[in-house]
């Protein structure tokens, strides 16, 4: 937890009003890049994830994963004086991030028109399930719903089994990233014009954007993509196979650069002359046959033997690892994919490092996830120059 | 395909040397936001995805999905004169995107040190499997390998079945987004200092960053997260259920705000007094029991009935839709999650729209995916003021 001379977003003031994952992850990425992020949480309970397990020393791991590099200030959002206070904070902010149900900010007198008039340089990032202004905007949505509604679940899983969710909330993460891209693009525009704008991203739009070729394949070619296990949709052989010792491994040897190396690796160069397999299209048509060849060879060797051979042939491959194996891999520390964050109550918390690597202004972790309201006074003093007496009154009136 | 007065990244010149998904998607996002993106492709074959099916009128859908809003220029990367030409283009560029195996750009005399010296304002985004400078950098990696090696596959799928891949190349998409965030953050820094920098993102780092609570849960609490089907890891009941008519639907009714509405919806308010279910922790401990209650009620009603009831109770829910249902949903067009792009050979290609919504400077699609080398002359003329004779000579020598 060190601070370099300068960060990419040094001096950028961010108000993070968001809860759960997509909004908080977006604001955390800005924090990782050096922004001054103030998380504005409802009084008493704070972000919903503070009361979601699992815990370390009564601190929610879930909350900690999405809220490092932030300070916490509490506001009783339903109180008009708190809403005034929020607007005063907006006057000082560069960016506001929110993921309430569309319409909520408007009810608080903090819709885009209000805030833009108040602070024309403000960039307001709005993350929602379906987007701000359309026929579906009012519907509630979580990651799993987005996976179900956009066809993602139907694309995932064994063809003989039921539709599957991806193992983590990937659509939330992607939406966080789309919002961050939008904020930074808007910042570039503001650097030229002085004017802020609204960023409007949605779980459904984010999920749809990651459907590969599915939409045109159906609408033009009439082919409805569905789940196919771990088989690659565009090259063969590329799939998960089981070695002689029962270990699962994933191998990609299907494109035209890979396949000759694969055929020689398994000692069957004659496959390259086989009219079923000598083109990528042939291998896609005869995918069961070519994967049977691969499976047979792999089943005759241990995972270590197979992986060593694949490595020599420079074919992408990996053992399917458990989280235990991942967490204990020294490379994960070496590359800073896992770092230690020291939390005042939870102690040393190893967590995933910032995913955006920058050469001159690296991402850093400068603050542990905050306790609820830990920085209310500090932020009100720094941002608004508020006297102690006023803070005491606000606290007594449960406005902060 | 209209151009607004101004885009967020108007005037930004991007050289996209990348292939497959992560790099091209990053450069396409910059193009969607208004940048002038020149895709630099190897002569003859171009991007590998140009020869990957499926096709529309012999044009690869795969290629089209990641390369709209770009012009195409060909270069014979192995030729020293082509490498010179590349360096001349770099002199004019703001951003370069590449996802070769680490070391490749260096072999071409176009490593970071070379290019930074040549053009100190250049931002160079490097996307790779494992990152540029560590013990694993030389290893080949594709999305499926990243899913296997980081535990993602072990987290996805039925607990009784084998590890599963997510239905599309989500790690590639995420890495594209991390690179885009890095480029735009570096651009903000450059706006202040005039200096470019290197952006170094990896599939493994990107995948690791999306593992939710898995790493600290294992390293601190010793609990190894693994796959659990579609059951939510943090709240209950929240899972996929089958209605009376056999239809699969996903429902999220597990957190403390949701559960009382759910209990009343199914006419069992007594669940709220049941010590097994009256807290979130209780429901997580007794997840089989509470999901059995949900499953029983849902199995007694058709999907339409269940979804109507869930909607009235404002509980997030959705039918698990096929790609056909998604592609034909009018909302997808209304919200511009699906748009039409007109391609000179493939005709009207419906594809996913830009996922980053901006109020004042909206993302736009101004160009269809380019034909190989379609804009070589145009770009060399515009960027380098190259005379026609020189271009002819370069083409005759198969340098472009």
pLDDT digits (tens, 9 = 90+) for A331-346: 999 999 999 999 999 9
* CA dist., res. B74 & res. B12, Å (int): 20
Last residue of one domain, picked from the residues B319, B349, B375: B319
In a domain, A299, yes or no: yes
How many helical (H) and strand (E) elements, i.e. helices and strands, does chain B have?
18, 14
Contact (CB, 8 A) for A155 and A225: yes
Residue B19: predicted pLDDT: 97
Residue A87 domain flag: yes
Q: How far apart are the C-alpha atoms of B10 and B363, rounded to whole Å? A: 11
Q: Give the structural domain span for B41.
A: 13-210+329-396
Chain B nearest CA to A312, separation (Å): 11
**Residue B304, preceding bond cis, omega within 30 degrees?**
no
* A353: Cβ contacts below 8 Å, ≥ 6 apart: A336, A337, A338, A339, A363, A365, B205, B208, B209
Query: Does the annotation mark A172 as catalytic?
Result: yes
Do residues A160 and A297 share a domain? no
The span from the first CA to the last CA of chain A, in angstroms, equals 29
Q: Are residues B301 and B367 in the same domain?
A: no
Same domain? For B174 and B26 the reply is: yes
B369, B371, B372, B374: CA torsion to nearest 10: -110
The answer to whether the beta carbons of residues B24 and B18 sit under 8 Å apart is yes
Q: Quick check: A356 and B199 CB within 8 A? A: yes
Residue A73 lies in a domain: yes
Q: Both B57 and B112 in a single domain?
A: yes
Q: Would you say B180 and B174 are in contact if contact means Cβ atoms under 8 Å apart? A: no
* Global ipTM: 0.98
| Contact (Cβ atoms closer than 8 angstroms) between residue B153 and residue B164 | yes
Confidence of residue B1 (pLDDT cuts 50, 70, 90): very low
Of A291, A319, A347, the last residue of a domain is: A319
| Listed residue (B173, B172, B156) closest to B164, CA to CA | B156
User: Do B192 and B140 belong together in one domain?
Assistant: yes
Residues A289/A295/A297/A300 CA torsion (nearest 10 deg): -140
Contact B64, B35 (CB under 8 A): no
Do A314 and B140 count as a contact with CB atoms less than 8 A apart?
A: yes
Q: Choose the mutation target among A161, A164, A227 for the interface with B, i.e. most B CBs under 10 Å.
A: A164
Quick: pLDDT tens for B73-95.
999 999 999 999 999 999 999 99
Q: Is residue B110 part of a domain?
A: yes
Spans of chain A below 50 pLDDT: 1-3
A241 three-state secondary structure: strand
Same structural domain, A182 and A257: no
Q: How many domains does chain A have?
A: 2
* Cross-chain Cβ contact A356/B181 below 8 Å: yes
Model confidence at B137: pLDDT above 50: yes
Q: Is B6 a domain residue? A: no
Nearest to B145 among A174, A177, A316 (CB): A316
DSSP B337: S
Catalytically active residues of B, by annotation: 172
Q: Which residues of A fall within a CB distance of 8 Å from B256?
A: 51
Pairwise CA distance, residues A8 & A183, whole Å: 14
Statement: residue B331 has pLDDT above 60? yes
Picking from A152, A99, A203, A176, the residue whose alpha carbon sits closest to that of residue B337 is A203
**Residue A38 placed within a domain:** yes
Which DSSP letter does residue A365 get?
-
The verdict on A130 and A261 lying in the same domain is no
Examine the domain organization and report whether B259 and B334 are in the same domain. no
Q: Are residues A307 and A333 both part of a single domain?
A: no
Q: Which CATH number covers residue A165?
A: 3.40.50.10540
- Bridge partner list, B342: B348
Does B2 score more than 80 pLDDT?
A: no
Are residues A269 and A182 both part of a single domain? Answer: no
Please indicate, yes or no, whether residues B256 and B375 belong to a single structural domain of this protein. no
**B54 lies in a domain?**
yes
Residue A28 included in any domain: yes
Final residue of a domain: which of B290, B319, B348? B319
Task: Find the residue in A nearest to B323 (Cα).
Answer: A151
Measured distance CA(B121)–CA(B191) in Å, rounded: 10
pLDDT at B8: 98
CB-CB contact of B144 with B165 (8 Å): yes
Give the pLDDT band (50/70/90) at residue B5. Answer: low
């Amino acid at each position: 937890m060190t601070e370099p001379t300068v960060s990419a977003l040094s001096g950028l003031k961010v108000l993070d009003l968001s809860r759960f994952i997509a909004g908080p992850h977006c604001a955390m990425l800005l924090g990782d890049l050096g922004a001054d992020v103030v998380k504005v949480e409802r009084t008493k309970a704070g972000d919903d994830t503070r009361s979601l397990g699992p815990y370390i020393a009564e601190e929610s791991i879930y909350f900690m994963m999405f809220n490092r590099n932030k300070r916490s200030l509490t506001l009783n959002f339903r109180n008009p004086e708190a809403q005034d206070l929020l607007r005063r904070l907006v006057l000082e902010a560069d960016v506001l991030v929110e993921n309430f149900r569309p319409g909520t900010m408007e009810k608080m007198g903090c819709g885009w028109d209000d805030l833009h008039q108040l602070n024309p340089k403000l960039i307001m990032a709005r993350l929602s399930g379906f987007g701000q202004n359309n026929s579906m905007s009012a519907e509630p949505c979580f990651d799993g719903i987005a996976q179900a509604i956009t066809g993602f679940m139907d694309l995932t899983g064994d063809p003989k089994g039921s539709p599957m969710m991806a193992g983590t909330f990937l659509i939330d993460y992607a939406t966080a990233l789309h919002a961050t891209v939008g904020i930074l693009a808007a910042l570039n525009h503001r650097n030229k014009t002085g004017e802020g704008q609204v960023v409007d991203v949605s779980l459904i739009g984010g999920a749809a954007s990651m459907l590969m070729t599915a939409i045109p394949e159906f609408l033009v070619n009439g082919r409805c993509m569905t789940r196919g296990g771990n088989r690659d949709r565009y090259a063969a052989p590329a799939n998960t196979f089981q070695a002689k010792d029962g270990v699962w491994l994933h191998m990609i040897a299907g494109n035209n650069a890979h396949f000759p190396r694969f055929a020689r690796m398994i000692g069957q160069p004659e496959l390259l002359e086989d009219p079923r397999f000598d083109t990528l299209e042939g291998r896609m048509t005869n995918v069961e046959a070519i994967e049977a060849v691969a499976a047979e060879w792999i089943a005759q060797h241990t995972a270590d033997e197979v992986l060593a051979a694949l490595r020599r042939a420079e074919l992408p491959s990996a053992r399917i690892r458990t989280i235990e194996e991942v967490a204990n891999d020294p490379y994960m520390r070496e590359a800073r994919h896992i770092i230690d964050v020291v939390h005042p109550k939870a102690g040393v918390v190893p967590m995933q490092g910032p995913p955006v690597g920058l050469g001159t202004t690296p991402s850093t972790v400068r603050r542990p996830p905050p306790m609820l309201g830990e920085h209310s006074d500090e932020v009100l003093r720094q941002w608004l120059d508020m006297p102690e007496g006023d803070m005491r009154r606000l606290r007594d009136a449960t406005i902060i």
